[in-house]
Amino acid sequence: MTRELDGKVALVTGATSGIGRATAVLFAKAGAKVVASGRREPEGQQTLELIRAAGGDGLFVQTDVSQASDVESLVQKTVDTFGRLDVAFNNAGIEGVWVPIARQSEADWDRTIAINLKGVWLCLKYEIRQMLKQGSAGAIVNMASVTGLVGGGGAAAYSASKHGVIGLTKSAALETARNRIRINAVCPAVIETPMEQRLFGAPAAHQSALAMHPLGRFGTPAEIAQAVLWMCSDRASFMTGQSLVLDGGFLAGPNAPS
């Protein structure tokens, strides 16, 4: 494959499984040195093994993105190890507990927003600081969702967090455009990941979710990873402040949630 990220240093949060892991490995195949992060050490080391098996050089840093000290340390360890930071995929997130607002606990709301929204804000804060310090071009992609563009009954906290990510992305892109730092978001529908299994593993839930995807299937982590790689490469050099929807037709038809 074309080595779009040859010589660059890339950071991926939430790299212990699913889309994050697939993207970390693809970044390595594209020539980047990859720092993978996440909360689960064993799974993180497995991702690191996959990065190395793909011919890449990498590092795993255990990180809770809701904690400023963890994120600051993550970026610093990236720079201490590889000298710089060129590309970041702020992918870490949770689904939270999907229940109607009237039954949702304040603790679950706080945890979902802390990881999905505050976590992206913290990552942007320290990534942008480092990229500005370097004075060179950079590219950042934030993980949003189709639920950042529409509502979802029972998913208020998750949907609110992803709407917030899209707003953050636009604001950050405007702040950094003159510095040649491009910041975009990716908005998948349902993807075949452990999160999908937790939310839609039951047969009835699976069929209901599948019916909202006109292509007749869920997406794969590899498909999202390919899009993120493109957004981080020079092939997307005129793209910033945008939200790229990858949804199998989810938002196009009458079955989209309202």
Which of residues 194 and 164 earns the better pLDDT score? 164
DSSP summary character for residue 128: H
How confident is the model at residue 207, as a pLDDT?
Answer: 80
Residue 211 has pLDDT above 80, yes or no: no
How confident is the model at residue 34, as a pLDDT?
Answer: 98
Residue 122 has pLDDT above 60, yes or no: yes
What angle, 0 to 180 degrees and rounded to 10, lies between the N-to-C axes of helices 156-176 and 119-134? 10
Instruction: Match 């699976």 to its residue by tokens.
Output: 206
pLDDT in tens, 64-101: 999 999 999 999 999 999 999 999 999 999 988 889 99
* Residues annotated catalytic, as ranges: 158
- Collapsed DSSP state (helix, strand, coil) of residue 246: strand
- Collapsed DSSP state (helix, strand, coil) of residue 164: helix
Instruction: Match 């990881």 to its residue by tokens.
Output: 115
The overall average pLDDT reported for the chain is: 93
How confident is the model at residue 175, as a pLDDT?
Answer: 98
How confident is the model at residue 166, as a pLDDT?
Answer: 98
What is the torsion angle, in degrees rounded to the nearest 10, for the CA atoms of residue 15, residue 230, residue 175 and residue 19?
A: -20
How confident is the model at residue 199, as a pLDDT?
Answer: 64
Structure tokens at 255: 């079955």
Residue 218 has pLDDT above 70, yes or no: yes
How confident is the model at residue 190, as a pLDDT?
Answer: 86
Closest to 251 (Cα-Cα) out of 145, 168, 144, 166: 145
How confident is the model at residue 254, as a pLDDT?
Answer: 66
CA distance 42 to 119: 22
Residue 1 has pLDDT above 80, yes or no: no
CA distance 158 to 71: 21
pLDDT in tens, 186-210: 999 988 776 666 766 577 767 877 7
Q: Which CATH topology does 9-190+222-239 take? A: Rossmann fold (3.40.50)
